[in-house]
């Protein structure tokens, strides 16, 4: 096989390796089906080639570390959640009932967590279920079922009061004998999320009123700030109401006392009559977080000359202002501070255009100047190398010729070229060729054949003479 064919084969192998890089599993451990689905969906969104398997994902070996870092920053894959079917699959015939109940709760919690992950704005969820429990002793009280939900939100996401109420209702409906009031929801900061605030959510009210003013009076005409205060107490009220069935009183009581025989006998009589009634018994609970009062402030740009009274009425209606509740609403015209806009003339615009391009222009000029000074020496060097190569080829071609033949071949060569070629010939041939030249041409050629002696190193012949 020739060298060219071997080179082509090696190049082909390298091209095949570059076109098909090494492949490796993305994760060191096997993943579950839900985790694989998450990773595959994200890689598809990133337009990254991969090969799915039953327990892992195959990717290019060179991109593995980068993909692991990107997936870690995105929080993928999530922790595997054991579903009800998976949890109950480990229960056997001899499994104790408490263990079976615990496994069922774990599976139910996993189902709820997986469902909550699909809600917009929720990155992850953790659910803990506490079942209902009867009192163990006669004087003990029963304990109702309860649930704790911890939500990890995506960056910049927030749940509205309606969304929190929906999550609470969903969890309560998923667990038997669980009331909504027994479901506690917190975020990843440990702050309780409550749906009882309703329309009193300060952030929602601020956005709603601000957007209304911006759409009506224009951007920057007013600035809105709303603050909501909530009652942290849990209030319980019990009321019993009885209504008479007729016009007479519900109950009638008569008491009488008498003495007979000179005070020797005493008689006491109590008579009572209950005519019946319509009885209604009601109990009301108020969970912590009930809206206590609202405080709103509207800053109006006085340069717009807007009707403050009208804006106050609109703001009161938008936020649900209630004076009896202790709400406060302030609408004032103030001077908005706006920074002066400095106008730049044409020279500033030209400066902004030229300055970014200055490094490129300077580099281009430097390259042109360097090429201008370096081109002549480089051209002379290249020409000298070409001439030297030509002379070497000519010297090799005339090495075996007769002196007369060499003289005829060098007829049109300049003295320096002839000197270079003759110098490469054997001494006898060179002497015979020089004898064929006229004296003037011979002297010119011989003068160019003489070597210059380096001032640092003596001539080799002189060194040999001194040593001899």
CA–CA distance, 42 with 208 (Å, rounded to integer): 34
What sign does the CA torsion over 362, 363, 364, 365 have? positive
Tally of domains within the chain: 5
Quick one: pLDDT band at residue 395, thresholds 50, 70, 90? low
Quick one: 190 and 205 in the same domain?
A: no
Quick one: 308 and 228 in the same domain?
A: yes
Identify the three-state secondary structure at position 353: helix
CA–CA distance, 263 with 285 (Å, rounded to integer): 58
What sign does the CA torsion over 411, 415, 417, 418 have? positive
Average pLDDT over the chain, rounded to whole? 78
Domain membership of residue 208 as a residue range: 201-232+287-337
Q: Which pLDDT belongs to residue 200? A: 45
Quick one: 172 and 123 in the same domain?
A: yes
Q: How much is the CA Rg of the chain, to the nearest whole Å?
A: 51
Tokens of 378: 């480089």
Question: Is the model's pLDDT at 291 over the cut of 80?
Answer: no
CA–CA distance, 153 with 295 (Å, rounded to integer): 28
CA–CA distance, 175 with 183 (Å, rounded to integer): 10
CATH number of the domain within which 110 lies:
3.30.300.30
Residues 422-461: tens digit of each pLDDT: 777 777 777 887 778 888 888 787 777 754 444 444 555 5
Quick one: 129 and 182 in the same domain?
A: yes
| Residue 358 resides in a domain | yes
| Residue 256 resides in a domain | no
Quick one: 63 and 130 in the same domain?
A: no
Residues 49-93: tens digit of each pLDDT: 888 888 888 988 888 888 888 888 888 888 877 777 777 777 777
Residues 123-174: tens digit of each pLDDT: 888 899 888 887 676 666 778 889 999 998 887 777 877 888 899 999 999 8
Quick one: 212 and 326 in the same domain?
A: yes
Half-sphere exposure of 324 (CA within 13 A, CB side): 0
**Which of 169, 82, 182, 185 is CA-nearest to residue 132?**
182
Question: Is the model's pLDDT at 40 over the cut of 80?
Answer: yes
Quick one: 57 and 74 in the same domain?
A: yes
Quick one: 420 and 438 in the same domain?
A: yes
Residues 171-196: tens digit of each pLDDT: 999 888 888 888 999 888 888 886 55
């Amino acid at each position: 096989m020739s060298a060219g064919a071997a080179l082509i084969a090696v190049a082909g192998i390298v091209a095949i390796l570059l076109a098909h890089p090494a492949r490796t599993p993305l994760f060191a451990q096997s993943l579950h089906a839900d985790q694989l689905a998450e990773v595959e969906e994200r890689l598809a969104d990133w337009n990254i080639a991969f090969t799915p398997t039953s327990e892992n994902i195959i990717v290019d070996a060179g991109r593995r570390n980068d993909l692991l870092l990107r997936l870690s920053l995105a929080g993928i894959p999530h922790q595997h959640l054991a579903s009800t079917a998976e949890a109950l699959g480990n229960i056997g015939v001899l499994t104790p009932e408490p263990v079976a109940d615990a496994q069922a709760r774990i599976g139910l919690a996993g189902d709820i967590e997986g469902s909550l992950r699909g809600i917009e704005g929720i990155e992850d969820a953790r659910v803990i279920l506490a079942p209902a429990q009867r009192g163990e002793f006669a004087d003990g009280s029963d304990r109702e079922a309860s649930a704790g939900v911890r939500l990890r939100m995506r960056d910049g996401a927030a749940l509205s009061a309606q969304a929190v109420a929906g999550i609470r209702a969903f969890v309560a409906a998923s667990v038997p004998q669980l009331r909504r009031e027994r479901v506690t929801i917190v975020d990843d900061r440990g702050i309780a999320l409550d749906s009882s605030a309703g329309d009193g959510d300060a952030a929602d009210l601020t956005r709603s009123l601000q957007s209304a003013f911006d759409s009506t009076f224009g951007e920057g005409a007013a600035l809105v700030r709303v603050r909501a205060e909530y009652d942290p107490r849990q209030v319980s009220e019990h009321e019993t109401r009885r209504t008479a069935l007729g016009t007479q009183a519900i109950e009638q009581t008569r008491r009488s006392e008498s003495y007979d025989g000179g005070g020797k006998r005493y008689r006491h009589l109590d008579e009572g009559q209950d005519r019946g009634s319509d009885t209604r018994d009601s109990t009301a609970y108020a969970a912590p977080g009930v809206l206590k009062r609202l405080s709103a402030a509207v800053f109006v740009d006085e340069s717009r000359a807007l009707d403050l009274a009208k804006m106050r009425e609109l703001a009161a209606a938008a936020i649900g202002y209630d004076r009896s509740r202790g709400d406060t609403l302030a609408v004032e015209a103030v001077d908005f501070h706006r920074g002066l806009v400095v106008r730049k003339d044409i020279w500033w615009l030209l400066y902004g255009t030229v300055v970014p391009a200055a490094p490129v222009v300077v580099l281009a000029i430097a390259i042109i100047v360097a090429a201008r000074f370096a081109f002549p020496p480089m051209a002379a060097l290249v020409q000298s190398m070409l001439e030297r190569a030509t002379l070497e080829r000519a010297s090799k071609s005339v090495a075996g010729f007769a002196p007369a033949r060499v003289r005829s071949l060098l007829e049109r060569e300049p003295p320096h070229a002839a000197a270079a070629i003759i110098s490469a010939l054997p001494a006898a041939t060179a002497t015979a060729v020089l004898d064929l030249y006229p004296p003037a041409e011979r002297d010119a050629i011989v003068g160019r054949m003489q070597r210059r002696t380096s001032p640092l190193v003596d001539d080799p012949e002189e060194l040999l003479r001194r040593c001899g």
